[in-house]
Amino acid sequence: MPAHIPLPLVHEPRPGTFAVGDGTSIGADGDARRAAWVLHDVLAGAGVRAPVVPAADPAATIVLRVAAPVRDSAEGYRLTVTPGRAVLEGGSAEALARAVQTFRQLLPPAALRRAPVGDAPPEIGCCVIEDAPRFAWRGVHLDVARRFMPVAFLLRFIDLAALHRLNVVHLHLTDDQGWRIEIPAHPRLTDVGSWRTETVVGRTGTFDGTPHGGFYTLDDLREIVAYAAQRSITVVPEIDLPGHVQSVLAAYPELGNTGQPVEVRRTWGISTNVLAPTEEALAFARDVLDTVLDVFPGPWVHLGGDECPRTEWRESPAAAARAAELGLASVDELQSWFLRRLHEHVTGRGRRVVGWDEVADDGGMPADTVVMAWRGSEHGIKAMAAGHDVVMSPEDVTYFDHYQDGGDGEPLAIGGLTTVEDVAAWEPPSGGGPGRLLGVQGQHWTEYLPTPAAVEYVAFPRLSALAEVAWTAPERRDAADLLRRLPAHLRRLDALGVNYRPLDGPRPAQRGGTGRRQRA
């Protein structure tokens, strides 16, 4: 049996093999065609030109079918591989997207390269696989605000998420150090807010003297969303409000509390420059969200809400007057007031708000707000008790900007220590409701991850382990068994050119913060 990650519920080997090669055609109709084209592209990398044909075509040796749900799950699927034919079926296009990725893991690792190596067409062992995910939200987050990452890398990251049967990619698009999304109504956000003049070097307090920036045009974002949708992955955009906005205030200082000019932040940490609690700031945020809602069709919009210092509001007579006029107990509740108004706007357009767990403090948010528990699982349990659905993303185990080993030779990290063993052994606490535990998510904050290679180095193999936490039922899951499967899984990541951290220690070249290999 191949070393699946995540582990499917059932994999029964059967006699014989199925050869993928000349004469392979992929049969699919309607909604099933989306996953069929992804499989087509996977096989094209292996040198197999398998046309997509109608499901009833007798030439179809691989058939994808939307049929009855498997294991009562929208994403449940069955994969039946016999010597002459492979059938992938499930209750939805999403189910077939997951089945295709499991099929991809049945192929020999070399078949995951983007051009054929060797002459033999890939063969897979016959089997029956039946599978369904544990959690509905299996997420991965990437901070593209601290470091602009090229579109090509985002597409690659989405594909790596898909390989692990993750279904949410959360993009942290805005922060003090950079604004990364084109907003036509507010061009200075990108003209000014997407560039900082230079960046602090490590923890030296010196600066690199090199401008850093970039942003995604709306067509870039549509491409990212469409590429993810082909893989049945939802992209969740995050616009961090009302704090983490120094890049906004660099562009539009009148939206702040002091009116004083500020620069796009060149250092890490938390800026005290936050939005003023005014109708102008709300109107601005609504404009931004209107563009976001137009470009990101998914059900969720993340409004941030983390780490918003009240310093300026406490010092501002206007903010104090506003809090009094609104009948708030103190300026501390201005964040809740601000985000509740945006919640009305977002839900009025049929979407759901997500926020970091601070949104449940100081006045809180309506119960339909999804809470991402980052300060610790206990914040998630508290939020579930208050009726919120929760995504567990605690920094002690899901912040992959932490060191992954306590030994020498690791590249500089923000701090912490989270080993792949820690992630493999993690059981997210479920709490007692009434809010639900939607799922789990791995975070990639990029202060100390300047390149795509650096992101891959911290993401893998910890994200592979988290994918199993997210997907595989706890009674089926075994951390030691996952760790035994990892070396074989890393052969897939080798074929894909992923700059993962080897299990036996860091690559020498990693010490300088660059990759073992650099592939676009």
186 catalytic? Reply is: no
Inter-residue contact 209 to 201 (CB < 8 Å): no
To ligand ACM, the closest distance from the beta carbon of 422 in angstroms equals 18
Closest to ligand ACM by CB, 25 or 398: 398
Per CB under 6 A, does 448 bind ligand ACM? no
**Active-site choice (40, 170, 212, 244):** 244
Size of the site for ligand ACM (CB under 6 A): 4
Nearest in space to 230 (alpha carbons), one of 77, 103, 41: 41
Q: Specify the residue, 143 or 159, whose C-beta has the smaller distance to ligand ACM.
A: 143
Among 89, 143, 175, 238, the active-site one is 175
Q: Is 75 a catalytic residue?
A: no
- As measured in angstroms, the least distance from the Cβ of 240 to ligand ACM is 9
Q: How many CA atoms lie within 13 A of 375 on its CB side?
A: 16
Q: Which one, 393 or 499, has the nearer CB to ligand ACM?
A: 393
- Tokens 């660099």 correspond to 250
**143 binds ligand ACM per the rule CB under 6 A:** no
Phi–psi pair at 373, nearest 5 degrees: -85, 100
- Interaction residues for ligand ACM, span 230-259 (CB under 6 A): none
Ranges within 331-370 binding ligand ACM (CB under 6 A): 356
Q: What are phi and psi of 242, to 5 degrees?
A: -90, 0
In the bound state, the residue with its beta carbon closest to ligand ACM is: 306
Q: Cβ 85 to ligand ACM, closest distance in Å?
A: 48
State the Cα–Cα distance between residues 165 and 191, nearest whole angstrom: 37
Which residues, 6+ apart, have CB-to-CB distance to 327 below 8 Å?
A: none
Burial class for 154, CB neighbours closer than 10 Å (0-12, 13-18, 19+): buried
Site string for ligand ACM, 371-410 (x = CB under 6 A): ---x------------------------------------
Q: Give me the least distance between CB of 100 and ligand ACM, in Å please.
A: 33
Which helix (H) or strand (E) covers residue 34, if one does?
helix 32-45
175 is catalytic: yes
Q: What beta strand segments (E) does 223-366 contain?
A: 234-241, 300-304, 352-356
Q: Which is nearer to ligand ACM, 238 or 456 (CB)?
A: 238
Kindly report the backbone phi and psi dihedral angles of residue 435, in degrees, each rounded to the nearest multiple of 5, phi listed first: -70, 155
Site for ligand ACM in 254-313 (CB under 6 A): 306-307
Instruction: Give the span between the Cα atoms of 414 and 398, in whole angstroms.
Output: 14
User: Would you tell me which residues interact with ligand ACM (CB under 6 A)?
Assistant: 306-307, 356, 374
Residues tagged active-site: 175, 244, 307
